[in-house]
């Protein structure tokens, strides 16, 4: 097939997909869905429970980050505040808010599946991330399959191996169980083992499952799209990590088998399902309070407020 959304896709990318990093061109900007005007209009109507607004410090090892609220400002004002502050807004699950993004998301994965024989994906997700000049996303790992699509501005993405010491088994187990945020301890020497990719508008990056990464913006406003997907392999990896977390944290047993395929997956998937049905882990899930509001009139675009629950 001839790709429509990707540019430069070759057999090499088909062979690498899912197990190694691929970097390609894309044409998402041509849809007009990710211009500043289109995103400002989305923010104007965006449901409170579907976005996160965060601010962060400058040190990659000192992970101080805060949760904020747009506080009635227009989308245009929010973008203006982000362009002079040190923040990002993450519009989550955009495909549930506006059907145009749902149609695009379906097209993206139809194209991936047409290009990668045997690939079957589901539970697709599309997010839009607008972030400040110089903003950073701390070292972390995500649970589903991930791709990052750069629309405007430039950023440097550091990708690390998805094995210890970069990704410790305890970390990914706690992340899938929801008892730890996606962030993990980071040492600057990790960078010597990172793949470094500079993304410019029109670049797309997809990396191996759970691969730890961090991102640093250049000195310009950034607009990026994130997509997520699941497959049977990803679901099995999730179930095994979750079950290993139950064994380690609640049953006092240090799991040594991290196979995400083969016979050991099935009892672990059953344990995960049984545990989730009991909802025993709910009380330990992480909650963050809102302690700033967008204020485009202030130099850093934000106003501190007394912390409150969302
Ligand atoms: Fe991520």
pLDDT for residue 310 is more than 70? yes
- State in Å: Cα 117 to ligand 1 middle: 26
Q: Confirm if 195 and 206 have CB atoms less than 8 A apart.
A: no
Q: Give residue-wise pLDDT tens across range 1-60.
A: 667 899 999 999 999 999 999 999 999 999 999 999 999 999 999 999 999 999 987 777
Domains observed in the chain: 6-230 (2.60.120.650), 232-278 (no CATH)
Residue 194 burial class via C-beta count within 10 angstroms: exposed 0-12, middle 13-18, buried 19 and up: middle
Q: Confirm if 75 and 40 have CB atoms less than 8 A apart.
A: yes
Q: How far apart (Å, rounded) are the C-alpha atoms in residues 38 and 2?
A: 28
Q: Give residue-wise pLDDT tens across range 226-236.
A: 999 999 999 98
- State in Å: Cα 213 to ligand 1 middle: 6
- State in Å: Cα 148 to ligand 1 middle: 8
- State in Å: Cα 91 to ligand 1 middle: 14
- State in Å: Cα 139 to ligand 1 middle: 8
The length of the chain, given as a count of residues:
310
- State in Å: Cα 211 to ligand 1 middle: 9
- State in Å: Cα 8 to ligand 1 middle: 24
Q: How confident is the model at residue 279 (pLDDT cuts 50, 70, 90)?
A: low
pLDDT given at position 136: 92
Residues lining ligand 1 (ion), CB within 5 A? Answer: 142
Alpha helices in the chain (DSSP H): 11-16, 36-45, 75-84, 99-115, 169-177, 232-250, 265-278
- State in Å: Cα 159 to ligand 1 middle: 10
- State in Å: Cα 297 to ligand 1 middle: 31
Q: What percent of the chain has pLDDT over 90?
A: 71
Q: How far apart (Å, rounded) are the C-alpha atoms in residues 264 and 287?
A: 33
pTM (2 d.p.): 0.89
- State in Å: Cα 17 to ligand 1 middle: 18
């Amino acid at each position: 097939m001839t790709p429509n959304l990707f540019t430069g896709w070759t057999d090499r990318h088909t062979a690498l997909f899912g197990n190694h990093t691929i970097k390609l061109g894309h044409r998402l900007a041509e849809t007009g869905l990710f211009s500043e005007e289109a995103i400002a209009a989305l923010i104007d109507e965006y449901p409170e429970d579907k976005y996160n607004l965060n601010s962060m410090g400058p040190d990659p090892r000192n992970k101080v980050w805060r949760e904020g609220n747009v506080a009635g400002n227009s989308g245009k004002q929010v973008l203006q505040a982000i362009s002079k502050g040190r923040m990002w807004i993450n519009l989550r699950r955009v495909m549930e808010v506006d059907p145009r993004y749902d149609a695009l998301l379906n097209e993206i994965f139809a194209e991936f599946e047409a290009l990668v024989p045997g690939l079957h994906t589901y539970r697709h997700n599309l997010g839009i991330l607008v972030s400040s000049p110089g903003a950073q996303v701390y070292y972390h790992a995500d649970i589903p399959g991930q791709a990052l699509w750069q629309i405007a501005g430039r950023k440097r993405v550091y990708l690390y191996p998805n094995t210890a010491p970069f990704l410790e088994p305890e970390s990914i187990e706690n992340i899938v169980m929801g008892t730890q945020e996606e962030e993990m301890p980071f040492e600057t020497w990790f960078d010597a083992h990172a793949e470094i990719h500079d993304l410019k508008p029109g670049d797309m990056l997809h990396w191996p499952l759970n691969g730890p990464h961090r991102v640093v913006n250049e000195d310009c406003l950034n607009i990026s799209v994130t997509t997520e997907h699941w497959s049977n392999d990803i679901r099995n990896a999730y179930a095994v990590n979750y079950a290993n977390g139950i064994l380690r944290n609640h049953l006092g047993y240090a799991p040594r088998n991290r196979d995400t395929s083969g016979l050991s997956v099935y009892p672990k998937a059953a344990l995960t399902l049984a545990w989730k049905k009991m909802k025993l882990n709910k009380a330990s899930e992480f909650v963050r309070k809102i302690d700033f509001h967008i204020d485009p009139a202030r130099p850093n675009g934000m106003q501190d407020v007394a912390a409150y629950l969302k």
